[in-house]
Amino acid sequence: MSIRGRLLWLTIGLAVPLVLVGFFNLWEAWQASRAQLNQSIERQAELAATAFEQWIEAQTQTLKTVSTLAASENKASLRDYLNSIIETRPHWLDIQIIGQSGNIELSQTVRQKPLPIVSIESIRDEIKAKHSLVVISEQLSGQNLRLLSLAMPLADGRFILARIDGESASEVFHQLELPKEYIIAVFDPNFRLLYRSNVSPEQMSLDVSDTSLLSALGAKQTGTVEVESPYDKITRIYGLARIEAANCVVVVGVPSESLYAPAKAQYWRQLWIGSLIAVLAGALALLIARGIVLPMLELTSAARSFGHGDLTTRTDISGSGPMREVAETFNQMAERIQIREEKLKELDHLKSEFVSSASHELRTPLTTIKALVRVLQGNNVSDGERAEYLQTIGDECDRQIEFVRNLLDLSRIESGAYKPNLSQVELSGFLENLVASLGRAASSRDLKLDLRMPGHALPTVTTDADILRRVISSLIENSMKYTSAGGTINVSATSGDGGVSIAVADTGCGIASEDLPYVFDKFYRGHPAGNGFAAAIDPMETAQVADAGGMGLGLFLSRSLAEQIGAEITVESPIADGTGSRFIFTMPV
C-alpha cells in the first residue's frame, strides 16, 4: 500500500473512532438527560396525583358528614345539610342516598330535572367489592356533560352517590401551572377516563383498556412510558402516578417532539460536524501525503542513483519540516559515505603499499643473508671477514625478528589480546642504559644523542619494561631517520603532578603542519616540513617524495603500545627556528 493510502487509512482510523466516541458521549448525555426528564415527569405526575388526591379527600369529607347524618335517622337535618351542599358547592350537581334495592331514598340537585343514574348496578357492585369510596366517570350522552361520581357505602347496605361536574377538577390542575402543551388525565381502576384536559365528549367514551398507556405502570406507584395517545394520536412522554385512596391513576404527558427536538438538532449537528471533520481530515491526509510522497519519490530516486554507484548524487528538497531534515540527513550521509569510500580507496592503496613495503622489508635482509651465506660457503674468506659477515647475518636476523614481532604485536593489540607484563622499573638507570645502547647507531649516522636528566632521581614506576623500551627506542630511531648528519637528538625526562614525561627532540626537518593530525595513523607517511610538499594523501604520491622510507607503522605501533600501559604520546613541530620535532611520552607514576 502506498504512503498516501496508509495515511488516508490512518486518518480514517483516527477520525472515525473520535466521531464514534463523540456520538457515544452524546448518546450517554442524552440517556442521562432522558433519565432526568423521566424523573421530572414522574415528579410532576406525583404532584398532580397529590393535588387530585387532596381534592378527592376534600369531597370525601363532605360524604363522610352525610354518612353520619344518614346513620342518625334525622332526615330533616340530613335534608338541610344536603341543601347547604348544593348551595355552597356549585360544582356538585346532585347528591342522592340510594337504598339497598337501588331506589332513591333522598335526593338533592341544582338542576330542574334530576340527573339520570348511569350504571347504578355497576356502582353498587363496585361498592360491595371494595367496601370503600368508589370514584367512577360518567358521560351523559346528548348533554355534553362529564361527571365524576363518588359513591360511599353506608353501614346498612345503602350508599351515598354524589355527582360532580368534571370541569371542576381543572381548577385543581390549573394551580400546578404546567405548560400548555402538557396533558393531564385521570383514570379510574377500570381504565375509564375521569378527567382529561383538552378532551371532547366523543373521546371521553373511548376504551383505552387495551393500550399500553396504563399497563406500563403495572404494580408500581410511579413510572414513565412513551406511547401514542389513543385520543389525539400524538406521541408523548407520560408520567404516571397511582392514587391509592381512590385507586385512580394520574397521567401527565408532554409531546415527544418538543422534548426530542433539541436533542435531535444537537445529534444532527454533531453528525454534520463529525462528517465535516472526517472529510477535512481525509483532505488534510491527502495534502500531507502529497507533501511526503513527492519528496519521498525524489529521495528514492536519489537513493537508487546513489546505490548504483553515483556517489555525487544529492537531494534538493526545499521548504522546511521533517522531509527537509530527512533530505539534509541523506545528503550528510551521502557526503560521509563518499568521504569514507575515498578513505577506503586510500586505505586500499596504503595496504597495497604496505604489502609491497613488507615484502621489501622481508626480502632485502633475506637477500643479504643469502648472499653472505654463499660467500661464507667459499674457501677464500678470511677470519675477519667471516666474523663480520656472521655479525651482519645476525643483525639482519634480529631485524627480521623485530619486524615480525611488531606485526604480531600490532595484530594482538587490535584484537584486544595483548596483555602487558607489569614490573617495577627504575627510570634513571633504564634511560641511561637505553640511550647508551643506541649511541653506536647514532654515531654511525654522524648524529649526537644526548640524555638530560633532572637534578633529582626519577621515581620508580610500575610498567611493562619491554613496552617502555620499545616505545622510547622507536621515538629515538624515528628522530634519527629525519635528522641529517651533524644533527642532535636530545632525550630528557621530568617528573611531577603524579606523572613522568620523557621527551625526544631532534634538529631534523620537522613535520609539515598538514601532517601533524595524522602522524599516529596506521600506514600514514607524511612529508618533511622543509621540502615544500603538502601532506601526502595518495600513497603513490608519497612514494615519489624523498623521505626516510618505512611503512607508516612505527608511530602507530608506539602509540598503541603506550596506551596498553596507560601512557600517551604527543608531538610538537617545529620546535626551534622553524625546524625539528619533539615527541613527549607521558606516563603515570
**pLDDT tops 70 at residue 113:** no
Domain ranges of the chain: 3-260, 322-411, 419-588
Residue 394: the pLDDT is 85
Q: What is the mean pLDDT of residues 253-278?
A: 76
Vertex 563 angle, CA 560 and 567, to 5°: 130
Average confidence (pLDDT) over 303-330: 77
Angle between helix 75-88 and helix 3-71 axes, rounded to 10 deg: 140
Q: Is 547 left (phi over 0), alpha (psi -120 to 50) or beta?
A: beta
Q: Which three cell numbers stand for residue 384?
A: 675477519
What is the distance between the alpha carbons of residues 276 and 83, in angstroms, rounded to a whole number?
Answer: 76
Amino acid 368: pLDDT = 84
Is 152 in contact with 67 (CB distance < 8 Å)? yes
Give the pLDDT of residue 585.
92
Q: What is the pLDDT of residues 86-100, one digit of tens each?
A: 888 888 888 888 888
Distance CA 438, CA 269 (A): 98
46 vs 29: which has the higher pLDDT: 46
pLDDT, position 536? 35
Closest CA to 299 of 288, 286, 285, 313: 313
Q: Is 542 exposed, middle or buried (0-12, 13-18, 19+ CB in 10 A)?
A: buried
Q: What kind of fold does domain 419-588 have according to CATH?
A: Heat Shock Protein 90 (3.30.565)
CA dihedral (562, 564, 565, 568) positive or negative: positive
CATH of domain 3-260: 3.30.450.20
Domain 322-411 sits in CATH at 1.10.287.130
pLDDT tens for 429-476 read 899 998 888 888 888 889 999 998 887 888 888 898 988 998 998 899
pLDDT in tens, 521-568: 877 776 666 543 333 333 333 333 344 556 677 888 888 888 888 899
- DSSP label at residue 579: B
148/545: higher pLDDT? 148
Q: What is the pLDDT of residue 367?
A: 86
Q: 109 falls in which pLDDT band (50, 70, 90)?
A: confident
pLDDT value of position 142 = 52
Is the pLDDT assigned to residue 341 strictly greater than 80? yes
Average confidence (pLDDT) over 486-491 = 91
Question: What is the per-residue pLDDT across 368-388, written as a single tens digit (0 to 9) for each?
Answer: 888 888 888 877 778 888 888
pTM as predicted: 0.44
Per cent of the chain over pLDDT 70 is 85
